[in-house]
């Protein structure tokens, strides 16, 4: 079998492929969808590393030989799952291994947003040292506050554990279905979506991006949040209507936001969100640690080896 990589994996992943005599090719550059299809036509499997294209009916029908795609990510919103099932395509991702690292970033953004840390750093760079910090730049404390989790999965539960341990926060959450086995770990309470947005002091988004969540956090939802609430997103940028978020933050409808993901991504340097003092933004670094990225590369490569040798995969998305 022939395997195409859109980019090289980290060395640990490449070594696994070589040790198992996987016949692979590395794409020469960043490819658009048409170019990637041309490369994939004579390959049996694809390792997609950071390449943002839609894997859908058009792709699958143009690449009849390609029957397996290994994603170097936990998210799989670029895959049309129904089309993949129809064409018999196996899709793997890298769950679990990045849960703690990503929840670290959610926790970091929550704390940074609560104290307006990024804008205070900007004051230092501008040599704006004052004897007194003006009241408008005061932060808020998180002790005994209520944390709302939208999407209590692997990453959400890690965020909940951190917040409960550090600040004794009360945990509420909303999923499509209750998760009683996870509730027990952090004494969490399942609530409706309306209750979640109205009652959370911090609302942390950990859901997947799909038709039901795209643009869900719009003006109507943001207006129902507490005026002292903090919104954190480490999931996918399009879950939030970014134009509506800008106005909510500018008009102090909510206290602050912390984002590791944006829409679009990458964000332009002149994006008006960056002009606000009550937003903290990072460039999608949730899994960007040596330890986590190496584990992702290892799991991605092992999925390919499992498919080539046995026709199966370790972490299927369906």
What burial letters (b/e) apply to 241-275, b meaning 16+ CB within 10 Å?
bbebbbebbeeebbbbbbbbbbbeeebeeeeebee
3-state SS assignment for residue 125: helix
CB 12 within 8 A of CB 292: no
Strand pairing of 189-190 and 170-174?
A: parallel
Catalytic option among 236, 293, 298, 306: 236
In degrees, rounded to 5, the angle at the alpha carbon of residue 78 between the alpha carbons of residues 192 and 312 is 100
Q: Is residue 284 annotated as part of the catalytic site, yes or no?
A: yes
CB 313 within 8 A of CB 46: no
Q: Is residue 265 annotated as part of the catalytic site, yes or no?
A: yes
Cα(72)–Cα(60) distance, integer angstroms? 19
In degrees, rounded to 5, the angle at the alpha carbon of residue 293 between the alpha carbons of residues 292 and 295 is 65
CB 48 within 8 A of CB 70: yes
Cα(62)–Cα(282) distance, integer angstroms? 36
Q: Which DSSP state fits 89?
A: -
Q: Is residue 236 annotated as part of the catalytic site, yes or no?
A: yes
Q: Which residue shows structure tokens 């049996």? A: 44
In degrees, rounded to 5, the angle at the alpha carbon of residue 113 between the alpha carbons of residues 178 and 209 is 40
Catalytic option among 43, 154, 206, 284: 284
Q: Which residues are catalytic?
A: 236, 265, 284
């Amino acid at each position: 079998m022939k395997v195409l990589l859109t980019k090289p994996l980290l060395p640990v992943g490449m070594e696994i492929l070589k040790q198992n005599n996987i016949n692979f090719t590395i794409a020469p550059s960043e490819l658009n969808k048409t170019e990637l299809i041309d490369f994939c036509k004579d390959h049996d499997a694809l390792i997609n590393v950071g390449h943002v294209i839609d894997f859908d009916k058009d792709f699958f029908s143009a690449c009849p030989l390609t029957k397996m795609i290994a994603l170097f990510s936990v998210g799989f919103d670029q895959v049309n799952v129904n089309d993949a099932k129809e064409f018999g395509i196996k899709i793997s991702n890298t769950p679990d291994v990045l849960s703690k690292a990503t929840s670290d970033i959610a926790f970091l953004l929550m704390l940074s947003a609560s104290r307006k840390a990024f804008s205070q750093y900007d004051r230092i760079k501008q040599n704006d040292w004052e004897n007194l910090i003006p009241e408008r730049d005061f932060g808020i404390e998180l002790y005994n506050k209520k944390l709302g989790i939208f999407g209590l999965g692997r990453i959400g539960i890690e965020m909940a554990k951190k917040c409960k341990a550090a600040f004794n926060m009360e945990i509420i959450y909303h999923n499509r279905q209750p998760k009683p086995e996870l509730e027990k770990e952090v004494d969490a309470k399942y609530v409706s979506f309306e209750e979640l947005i109205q009652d959370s002091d911090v609302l942390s988004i950990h859901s997947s991006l799909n038709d039901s969540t795209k643009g869900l956090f719009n003006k109507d939802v943001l207006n129902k949040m507490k005026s002292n609430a903090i919104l954190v997103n480490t999931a996918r940028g399009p879950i939030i209507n970014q134009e509506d978020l800008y106005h909510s933050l500018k008009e102090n409808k909510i206290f602050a936001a912390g984002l590791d993901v944006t829409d679009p991504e990458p964000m332009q340097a002149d994006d008006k969100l960056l002009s606000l003092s009550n937003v903290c933004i990072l460039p999608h670094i949730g899994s960007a640690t040596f330890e986590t990225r190496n584990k992702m590369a290892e799991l991605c490569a092992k999925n390919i080896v499992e498919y080539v040798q046995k026709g199966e995969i370790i972490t299927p998305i369906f």
